[in-house]
Amino acid sequence: GENVEQHPSTLSVQEGDSAVIKCTYSDSASNYFPWYKQELGKGPQLIIDIRSNVGEKKDQRIAVTLNKTAKHFSLHITETQPEDSAVYFCAASIENSGGSNYKLTFGKGTLLTVNP
Amino acid sequence: NAGVTQTPKFQVLKTGQSMTLQCAQDMNHNSMYWYRQDPGMGLRLIYYSASEGTTDKGEVPNGYNVSRLNKREFSLRLESAAPSQTSVYFCASSRLAGGLQGQEQYFGPGTRLTVT
């Protein structure tokens, strides 16, 4: 089955700096890669996702890049703010038109702390 | 539009007791999921239901049963709780059952379960 590794497990940055979180996956058939943000005491919330037909996707201060050859993808947050402090999870799965694989495999998470 | 709701929010059980965690979604989603979250382990899939009337095991199904009561509701039952089942449980749903670009999962707020 799919295995997703996520690094680092903790990341501390100063407000205004950039933060990068990296994930690798093992199944070359995976083609859908979402990122979730989990604030303390809440459920994970989807913040951005990328499919394997594109190499990069951006939404305001966050961006995700994908390298299919190397089987890794990364989350980039620019101009970090204290409210970006949370646990971030990457995940991978296979989307297809007729199959039965609906399962996301998650990384173990990164605790991001943005210091004012 | 409440999204995904879970009850109860907190629960303490004694070893051997049983309980059912309830989940409901109002987004007309086809697929629903149960995860558990443990420190340093990320999110692990317990069971999922790709569509109404079907359920399948995930990564860690032992000690659990599920029921897809209707399209809206998906319950998780612990028949004989064990201390190893102390965890935070999340329910999630997604729009399409195995289709393209429908796998975005939306999570509930979680149930914090302690088994003593």
Question: What are the tens digits of pLDDT across the range B10-22?
Answer: 999 999 999 999 9
Average pLDDT over residues A39-44: 93
Q: What is the pLDDT of residue B2?
A: 81
Q: What is the pLDDT of residue A101?
A: 56
Q: What is the pLDDT of residue B71?
A: 95
Cβ <8 Å between B104 and A49? yes
Q: What is the pLDDT of residue A86?
A: 97
Q: What is the pLDDT of residue A33?
A: 93
Q: Per-residue pLDDT for B99 more than 60?
A: no
Average pLDDT over residues B9-36: 95
How many other C-beta atoms lie within 10 A of the C-beta of residue B32?
Answer: 29
Q: What is the pLDDT of residue A35?
A: 97
**B41 contact A CB<8A:** yes
Q: What is the pLDDT of residue B41?
A: 84
Q: Per-residue pLDDT for A42 more than 60?
A: yes
Bridge partners of residue A108, in order along the sequence: none
* Chain A nearest-CA residue for B58: A103
CA–CA min distance A44, chain B (Å): 6
Q: Per-residue pLDDT for A82 more than 90?
A: yes
More confident residue, A42 or A53: A42
Q: List the single best residue of B105, B111, B112 to mutate versus A (max A Cβ within 10 A).
A: B105
Average pLDDT over residues A12-31: 95
Report the percent of chain B where pLDDT is more than 90.
Answer: 75
Edge-to-edge, what's the strand order for the sheet holding A62-67?
A4-7, A19-25, A72-77, A62-67, A56-59
Q: Per-residue pLDDT for A100 more than 70?
A: no
Q: What is the pLDDT of residue A98?
A: 54
- Tens digits of residue pLDDT in B38-79: 988 889 999 999 888 899 999 899 999 999 989 999 999 999
More confident residue, A30 or B82: B82
Radius of gyration of chain A (CA): 14
Q: What is the pLDDT of residue B95?
A: 85
Q: What is the pLDDT of residue B104?
A: 83
**B88 contact A CB<8A:** no
Cβ <8 Å between B90 and A104? no
φ/ψ region of B41 (left if φ > 0, alpha if ψ in -120 to 50, else beta) reads alpha
Q: Are B90 and B23 in contact (CB under 8 A)?
A: no
Average pLDDT over residues A75-83: 97
Question: For residues B100 and A27, what is the distance between their CA atoms, to the nearest angstrom?
Answer: 18
Reported confidence tier of residue A53, pLDDT bands at 50, 70, 90: confident
